[in-house]
Structure 1
Amino acid sequence: MTENDGFGNNLVWLSVLVQRRYAQICADHDLTPVQATLLCVIKDQPQGMGELAQLLGVAKNALSGLVDRIERRGLVQRETLQRDRRAITLSTTALGKEIVDALYADVGRRMPDIAGVLPADERHQLADSVARITARLVASPMPDAAPQGRQRTVAGADHTGK
């Protein structure tokens, strides 16, 4: 086993810890993780449905179903663009913004304690490293996204019908 194998395995387990904690936080806000992620993406700026599908790495028809469910809950709204009636953007409603703001605050409080076993200086180093990694992903989203036609669906991830 090489050093990278151990690092890879540790990253997988860290991912499991993060996903479990995120799923619990989302559930506490009556959201599935994929619903919460969608709300986070459109939190401060409306996005087109095509861009959202690409950012989230999901098929457009699966995204439409997800949007239907959270739209019925009054968390998002669809809008058509004047210049192209086929283009639809998605934004949060006042209720959706309130919920996603509360989710953000809760994530900010509850996620960092995953690194609580580390001394303070190592937590700061980890925070800096994570910030650099995520900044790169935000600059060019989903570098490992599935090619067209092989995108994941979110139906299984959002099976609650919420």
Structure 2
Amino acid sequence: MDYGDKLFWLSVVIQRKYAQICAGFDLTPSQATLICAVRNQPRQMADLAASLGMTKNALSQLVDRTARLELVSRTGSAQDRRIVMLSATPTGKALGEAVYAEITRRLPEIASSLDTDDQRDLARVATTIVDTSDLAPPAAHQPAP
């Protein structure tokens, strides 16, 4: 297998583990990603769609399904009525925090067969990839430490 094949299969391993974790909370991976993305602060729907690599229509449908579970809610922006903000409800925030904690605890299990140095290298490389990708939320929207 070449490098591209390895990255493909790594994504499958990650997605499978992520789906298992989400299922434990009775959420689809998409729903879990959504509530984790808005658990700390409201996000603009357009920015969220871009960060998640979704069309606005696909995000809207996901929000509709997740809102029916009373985990997220839409509101208008106080500065611009054309902007739609997405927030976690109190239930969604609590669930998002629990899901996020479980993901950060269990997802590293995929690297459990690596030695300590390789795990550290993987963490460094993963951090660099995420920090330099268009998937990371814009700095202006990240929660304060």
Q: Same fold (TM over 0.5)?
A: yes
Q: Is 1:69 the equivalent of 2:69?
A: no
Query: Equivalents in 1 of 2:122, 2:69: separation in Å?
Result: 37
| Cα deviation, residue 84, structure 1 | 2.6
Matched, 1:24 2:43: no
Distance 2:79 2:132 in 1: 32
Q: What CA distance in whole angstroms lies between the structure 2 residues aligned with 1:38 and 1:70?
A: 8
- 2:127 is the counterpart of 1:131: yes
Aligned 1:1-162 pairs, distance under 5 A: 6-137=2-133, 140-141=134-135
Q: Distance in 2 between matches of 1:42 and 1:118?
A: 32
The whole-number CA distance in structure 2 between the counterparts of 1:77 and 1:131 is: 31
Name stretches of at least 5 consecutive residues in structure 1 with no aligned partner: 143-162
User: Which structure has more RCO (C-alpha within 8 Å, separation ≥ 6)?
Assistant: 1
Query: SS where residue 111 of structure 1 aligns?
Result: helix
Q: 2-side partners of 1:68 and 1:108: how far apart?
A: 27
Residue correspondences, number: 136
Identical positions, percent: 47
CA distance in 1 between counterparts of 2:9 and 2:61 reads 31
- 1:9 maps to a residue whose letter is D
Is the contact made by 2:53 and 2:135 (CA closer than 8 Å) also made in structure 1? no
TM-score by length of 1: 0.78
RMSD of the TM alignment (CA)?
1.6
Q: Cα deviation per residue 1:69-105 (whole Å; 9 max; x = unaligned)?
A: 1111111111112333222100111111111111111
CA distance in 2, matches of 1:141, 1:24: 22
Greater C-alpha radius of gyration: 1
Please give the alpha-carbon distance, in whole angstroms, between the structure 1 residues aligned to 2:117 and 2:50: 37
Q: Partners in 2 of 1:122 and 1:65 — Cα distance?
A: 40
Structure 1 runs of 4+ off > 4 angstroms?
A: none
Offset at residue 7 of structure 1 (A): 1.6
